[in-house]
Amino acid sequence: MINIGITAFFQTSTVILIQISDQHKRPFVYIYEKMLERKKATDITLSVAFLYIKSMRIALLWR
């Protein structure tokens, strides 16, 4: 099992903790649903988080 903790700081000064694990078949959908639960999560923060997660996944694949 791979667990990656990602902490992202946004202009709303809120900390969003995203847990990615390989047991989720669709991690992006899972993360999107989790972030939609927060009212302060806007489209901009979602897009930033998606780009950050994509770069992290690519970095992990290249290791």
Domain range enclosing 13? 3-62
Is the whole-model pTM more than 0.95? no
CA distance readout (Å), 57 to 3, 26, 49: 12, 14, 12
What's the pLDDT tens digit per position in 9-56?
Answer: 443 333 344 444 444 445 555 555 555 555 555 555 556 666 666 666
Distance CA 29, CA 18 (A): 12
What is the domain count for the chain? Answer: 1
* CA dihedral of residues 30, 35, 36, 40 (deg, nearest 10): 180
